[in-house]
Amino acid sequence: MTVIAVLDFTFKPETLAEALPVVHEVLQVTRAFAGCQSVDVMVDQADAAHLVVVERWESLEADEAYRTFRAGPGAPTALAPFLAGAPVLTKGVLDPAV
């Protein structure tokens, strides 16, 4: 069952130039994580400091393993100084019946 995770990030505008290379490094690790099918980044046209990251995972187990990794040894602490607030995570499964 495919899992979609959507992370909504707002960065401090004055730190965006410094933040984007860090985001790139963090997402390289995400893309290489077992079970990750894809990661796409949307930049808000009205606010370049607002990014939405869309991750596609092959299973609930793969997504949970990744969240456990990010909550522990893989915590992306380098992003913290650039964030304007806590990221918001929304997860769900694709429902072909809808």
Q: Tell me, what DSSP letter sits at residue 60? A: H
Longest dimension (CA), the chain: 44
Q: Tell me, what DSSP letter sits at residue 59? A: -
State pLDDT tens for residues 21-58: 999 999 999 999 999 999 999 999 999 999 999 999 99
Q: Between the CA atoms of 46, 49, 55 and 60, what dihedral angle is there, to the nearest 10 degrees?
A: -110
State pLDDT tens for residues 56-77: 999 999 999 999 999 999 999 9
Q: What stretches of the chain show up as alpha helix (H) in DSSP?
A: 16-32, 60-71
Confidence of residue 97 (pLDDT cuts 50, 70, 90): confident
> Which pair of tokens denotes residue 14?
């004055």
* pTM assigned to the model: 0.92
**pLDDT for residue 95 is more than 90:** no
Question: What structural domains does the chain harbor?
Answer: 3-91 (3.30.70.100)
